[in-house]
Amino acid sequence: MNYIRSYIFTLVLLLQLVTPAQISSNYTKFGVGEIIYSYSGRNIGLGGLGVSVLNGSYLSFVNPASLTKLRLTRVEFGANLSGSFLSDNTNKGFYASGRFDGVSLAFPVSTANGITLSMGLLPFSNVNYLDVKTITPNGDLSERSVTTYKGTGSLSKLFLGTSIKMPFDFSFGVSMDYYFGSFTYYSRIEFPNNISKNKSEYNNKRRPGGLGSTIGIITPDISKLFSSNLLSEFRLGFSVNLFSELPTDTLLIRTSVLGIDTLSNEKVNMHLPTRIFAGVSFIVNKKYLFTFDYTEQKWANYTFNGKKSDNLRDSYRYSFGIEHDNQNKGAGLNREHMVWRLGVSYEKTQYRFNGKGINQIAIYSGLSLPLSLKNSLDLALEYSIRGTTSSNLIKENRIRFSVGLSLAELWFIRRNR
């Protein structure tokens, strides 16, 4: 247990160097922002999901049923740094950001029955954008106006979950989730060349919080029906995220030369649509893990204070990943001990503007460096392309580097008297 504590202390010190900066994406101003599918370096290297994978060496909460093979207490952390190249028809820019993604803990209660207990704090979505527009009517500098739009905030998930092995070797899992967050949408208009016109600022703050749940199941190893020496761990996985109405405190404040006015202060409901996952995975030659995953969420049904958004549509995502593991366990930077990953995904995002949908394609690579027999440093690199410069929209080319720690120890030892 002291081993894990020492790593936690070291990671906290390192994360003090990760300072958030502008910008994530201008698209994140709609809905609850950009959806974060995974914080784990291992899952990101596989394309971000891994719904049907049973593995006692890593934690995955896309499907809470995935923990039934856990044999040791395991804790994981994640953080990332990303850079975005943004462009439209006339402008280009580069922005960077960094954040601590999440922490999770799981331990076995009964290894014979696959019963585990898990808990953690994970990201769900992120809002972080900055947009500055300058308008000069008819070239008259005295009427020139500068409008700034800025948004920050996130939605997170605090969860408590369990898994159990069912009859016929099915794995079942469920978690109770609490979603909470804070969003700030700021806008300002000013007239730099006309002192007779006063600037105005608006701050719109939202603080949602409410319950949800995640339910999942993974089938037994179907490859046993084939009696194949080449194929193993052939499994199907399904999970669903359910959300209650999230009560949201809202506050709208205007600041001008006349002072600060509270324009509205009320509690409304935010409705998040149900999200489903499905996937298949199998191992070839005991070294190569293949995963195929699908997820969808009907964002057209998202409402805030009973109102839908014209800029949101139903979304879906396909991902594919390969993991190469020699099963040669050991520590040190030995190539035979490392685990390698590649992935690709295509996503029809929830965003739509001027009748045109925003889609994304991404490629991933990952690497696990063994720190000891059961502990690893997980690295992942993602390159994605989203959007287009047509129809006055923005194209985003993003590089994201993720780092995580996966640590395990034997806790709760029963002593014979």
- pLDDT, tens only, 382-408: 999 998 888 778 889 999 999 999 998
The whole-number pLDDT of residue 330 equals 55
Q: Is position 417 within any domain?
A: no
Q: What range does the domain containing 293 cover? A: 2-409
The whole-number pLDDT of residue 23 equals 52
In this predicted model, what pLDDT tens digit does every residue of 3-30 receive, in sequence order? 444 444 444 444 444 433 445 577 888 9
Q: Is position 376 within any domain?
A: yes
Q: Is position 359 within any domain?
A: yes
The whole-number pLDDT of residue 121 equals 94
The CATH code of the domain that includes 287 is 2.40.160.60
Q: Is position 390 within any domain?
A: yes
Look at the chain and report how many structural domains it folds into: 1
The whole-number pLDDT of residue 12 equals 45
Q: What's phi and psi for 65, nearest 5 deg?
A: -75, -10
The whole-number pLDDT of residue 412 equals 64
Q: Is position 414 within any domain?
A: no
Ordered per-residue pLDDT tens for the chain, 417 residues? 444 444 444 444 444 444 334 455 778 889 999 999 988 888 898 888 889 999 888 898 899 999 999 999 999 999 988 888 888 777 787 888 788 888 999 999 999 999 999 999 999 999 988 888 888 887 777 778 889 999 999 999 999 999 999 999 999 999 999 999 999 999 998 888 777 677 889 999 999 999 999 999 999 999 988 878 899 999 999 999 999 999 999 999 998 877 888 888 999 999 999 999 999 999 999 899 999 999 999 999 999 999 999 999 999 999 999 999 887 665 555 667 789 999 999 999 999 988 889 999 999 999 998 888 888 899 999 999 998 888 778 889 999 999 999 998 877 666 655
Q: Is position 203 within any domain?
A: yes
Q: Is position 11 within any domain?
A: yes
Q: Is position 121 within any domain?
A: yes
The whole-number pLDDT of residue 73 equals 93
